[in-house]
Amino acid sequence: MWDRNQMAARAAQELQDGWYVNLGIGIPTLVSNYIPEGIEVTLQSENGMLGMGPFPVEGDEDADLINAGKQTITELPQTSYFDSAQSFAMIRGGKIAMAILGAMEVAENGDLANWMIPGKLVKGMGGAMDLVAGVGRVVVVMDHTNKHGVSKLLKDCTLPLTGKAVVDRIITNLGVLDVVKGGLKIIETADGVTEAELRAATEATIVD
């Protein structure tokens, strides 16, 4: 079974040289620590930046330089800044090759739910709906089951959707699955996880 960092490392294998990529909050943010040698990717932050650098050292924090999670960050030699309309023009326009984001539920047809739980505090979708509708490829990184052991890979999402049929690949603590015609296809299993275990933890239809 993979831990958070191993899931992030596996997700980093999805990156290709020259890509512009948007990383969501949580485990997806860790992906930037595992970018493979020889691969150059440019990270987009949807509040208006391409070429996002690491956190600043103490004392170098700049209130005018934050990421989409409102954390202080730094710029790189190739960094560019732009306004929010331009930022989402490049997202909506398909210029961002891939988004890696977390999820509450994914359905076997690629439906994604990650922004609200009815009856609970609703904070908003932020840029998630724009990202999943606009980027070239959507990769979800999440635990395979919730804290009660129930599968988060479902036949149909029960929560309000962030996007309809938008997910391409799902990386969980148990393995990697692709959304294909008719359901999910197992691409690989995590270290120490058998295919039978992965199948047993999955509600969604698994196709061969």
Partner 1 sequence: MKKIYTNATEALDGLLHDGMFIAAGGFGLCGIPELLLDAIKDAGTKNLTFASNNAGVDDFGIGILLQTKQVKKMISSYVGENAEFMRQYLSGELELEFNPQGTLAERMRAGGAGIPGFYTKTGVGTVIAEGKDHRDFNGETYIMEEGMIADLAIIKAWKADATGNLVFRKTARNFNAPAATCGKVCVVEVEEIVPVGSLDPDTIHLPGIYVHRIIQGTHEKRIEQRTTRPAA
User: Could you give the residue numbers annotated as active site?
Assistant: 46
Shortest Å, Cβ 169 to partner 1 = 20
Residues that bind partner 1 (CB under 8 A): 45-49, 54-58, 60-67, 69-73, 75, 81-85, 87-89, 91-92, 111, 121-130, 133-134, 160-165
CA distance 195 to 18: 34
Shortest Å, Cβ 194 to partner 1 = 35
**Taken in order 144, 15, 28, 85, is the CA torsion positive or negative?**
negative
Structure tokens given for 66:
């934050």
| Edge-to-edge strands, sheet with 183-189 | 75-81, 49-52, 42-45, 20-23, 98-101, 137-141, 169-171, 175-180, 183-189, 206-207
Shortest Å, Cβ 86 to partner 1 = 8
For residues 22 and 189, which CB has a smaller minimum distance to partner 1 in the complex?
22
CA distance 19 to 43: 9
Shortest Å, Cβ 99 to partner 1 = 12
For residues 162 and 172, which CB has a smaller minimum distance to partner 1 in the complex?
162
For residues 91 and 153, which CB has a smaller minimum distance to partner 1 in the complex?
91
For residues 136 and 206, which CB has a smaller minimum distance to partner 1 in the complex?
136
Exposed/middle/buried for 170, CB within 10 Å: 0-12, 13-18, 19+?
buried
Shortest Å, Cβ 65 to partner 1 = 5
For residues 165 and 187, which CB has a smaller minimum distance to partner 1 in the complex?
165
CA distance 184 to 167: 11
Exposed/middle/buried for 94, CB within 10 Å: 0-12, 13-18, 19+?
exposed
